[in-house]
Structure 1
């Protein structure tokens, strides 16, 4: 089997690196409860480059007595107004970097912080505090409101997680999970085409599978870059009309670390190709973690014909 690019009637596949989505670090809203003696411990604030972090206090902040050491060249000047302090790094800082921030309230209370960064252990993504609510009195109205919002957010996140799990508990998701383990022999799919593509230090082997009533695409990704490769999202929609179509996607790992290989598998039912009385080509897009559309594949309805 030759590794060649086919004509459009079979499967046009193009490797691209065009910006389609903005970079999106993991943003966090959290609450810091101060002790009776807040100066004893300096709480950490996690920031990411070009992402604003807002500190919100119960009382007004003293502009003249609020300062951060060593900020020049690393941060925009502090924005202080009312009960808020805004931090905005000019670029990412490393987890080992420390900047001392002292916030002084109008009642002369001094609240120290350590401004730094944090990375998730698996994929190296930046985790930024989007908003930090700083509370001293746990019985204040602000504390009760912040606690309520935090509880509602946890409940919403849990509900979305359960709903997503229920939606993804399907035969197509099960098939995609098996394909992502590089075990197509355990599925009804048979390989139809295969291509090898290279962009920089990342190699993509793209395999196209067909079966009765279903189509599948498997990406084998070998990462030789010095940073992890991670898929942000996949999209499937009609080439004409841009109508989103349902599909199943699975990966064999959260991130492909340098020097390793991982898989992304997509499964689409034949009904996804149906548009009224006609069958339409579908466009499958793979977006990288930083928001770049790295791959797109045009799928022919013939892949899923009975």
Structure 2
């Protein structure tokens, strides 16, 4: 049985900026709306009426930001470099009618879903036509996400996903799978342990990831299962993707902690259009780097 565990580096995937809508109301108890920025990227605040350049300002921006600009109904904010998580800057926008709107400019978070704002559409009257149209769009977007989550849950209601859920909890004895090999690899910022398991018409890999980063959580961005020809080395760009079951015991792994990822593969995946084939499991972490890969020999499901 052949098994290879290595770490490699792929091109990092930038976090895609986002466009979002905020709805402000005349409530003195409301906190200043937060605006999430990242270094050398312009964030645009878009209003329903022009702003007053002379009375729109940011406190303590010197040396940290390009001077704030008002361009018609838009305010442009650009940090010279990434902010620290604890950084907070007060942005006071004054509209043409004299209304003052405070915003808190801060850094993006460390979770994968926390992205910098590309554009923030600011609505003062939630009952206005433009605001209602934006709210309807937001509602439809949330409905799509819920539908996708429902479909994803339905797809995960399989025997392989049930096995993966047991493996991530360490319940080997409740499955027909048995450990065959154990590998250990220390990567920059994380330690990866991989246990290969086999059973009747099934193969699996249980990953134990220990996060050694002192401040940032570790999370999985993507896992891939690809056909592999002899001599090929990941990342695999022109291979055939195969279905598999994946389960994780947590969304992200805090600094100093460990988490488990389980991948279960059916024997049918070891056949490609060209005939029997080996498979490679690739794990990509939150910043887009390929954290590790495991080569699974097709003899796994026959031994």
TM over 0.5: yes
Deviations 1:39-70 (A, max 9, x none): x7552223142354332211123334322122
Deviation of 1:224 after TM superposition, in Å, equals 2.9
**Structure 1 pair 177/146, CA: closer, same or farther in 2 (3 Å)?**
same
Q: For residues 305 and 28 of structure 1, what CA distance do their matches in structure 2 show?
A: 51
Indicate if the aligned counterparts of 2:43 and 2:119 stay in contact, CA closer than 8 A: yes
Matched, 1:246 2:243: yes
1:229 paired residue among 218, 227, 241:
218
1:34 paired residue among 16, 25, 40:
25
2:12 paired residue among 5, 21, 26:
21
Matched, 1:273 2:290: no
Deviations 1:128-155 (A, max 9, x none): 4443221122332211111111111111
2:196 paired residue among 200, 205, 208:
208
Indicate if the aligned counterparts of 1:30 and 1:129 stay in contact, CA closer than 8 A: no
Q: For residues 82 and 236 of structure 1, what CA distance do their matches in structure 2 show?
A: 50
1:282 paired residue among 261, 265, 279:
279
Which residue pairs with 1:296 in the alignment?
Answer: 293
Q: For residues 235 and 80 of structure 1, what CA distance do their matches in structure 2 show?
A: 45
Unaligned runs of 5+ in 2: 230-237
Q: TM-score, structure 2 length as denominator? A: 0.86
**Structure 1 pair 214/88, CA: closer, same or farther in 2 (3 Å)?**
farther
Deviation of 1:159 after TM superposition, in Å, equals 0.9
Matched, 1:257 2:246: no
Which residue pairs with 2:45 in the alignment?
Answer: 55
Q: 1:87-126 alignment to 2 at 5 Å?
A: 87-117=77-107, 119=109, 126=114
Indicate if the aligned counterparts of 2:33 and 2:102 stay in contact, CA closer than 8 A: no
Range 286-295 or range 82-91, more displaced: 82-91
Indicate if the aligned counterparts of 2:21 and 2:123 stay in contact, CA closer than 8 A: no
2:152 paired residue among 164, 168, 175:
164
Deviation of 1:160 after TM superposition, in Å, equals 1.1
Range 217-226 or range 78-87, more displaced: 78-87
**Structure 1 pair 26/221, CA: closer, same or farther in 2 (3 Å)?**
farther
Q: For residues 27 and 214 of structure 1, what CA distance do their matches in structure 2 show?
A: 41
Q: TM-score, structure 1 length as denominator? A: 0.85
Deviation of 1:166 after TM superposition, in Å, equals 0.9
Q: For residues 64 and 52 of structure 2, what CA distance do their matches in structure 1 show?
A: 23
How many residues of Structure 1 are paired with residues of Structure 2 in the alignment?
293
Could you say what the CA RMSD is over the residues aligned between the two structures, in angstroms? Answer: 2.6
Deviations 1:252-274 (A, max 9, x none): 11222222221111111112221
Q: For residues 28 and 247 of structure 1, what CA distance do their matches in structure 2 show?
A: 33
Indicate if the aligned counterparts of 1:22 and 1:291 stay in contact, CA closer than 8 A: yes
Matched, 1:11 2:8: no
**Structure 1 pair 124/11, CA: closer, same or farther in 2 (3 Å)?**
closer
Indicate if the aligned counterparts of 1:48 and 1:91 stay in contact, CA closer than 8 A: no
Indicate if the aligned counterparts of 2:23 and 2:125 stay in contact, CA closer than 8 A: no
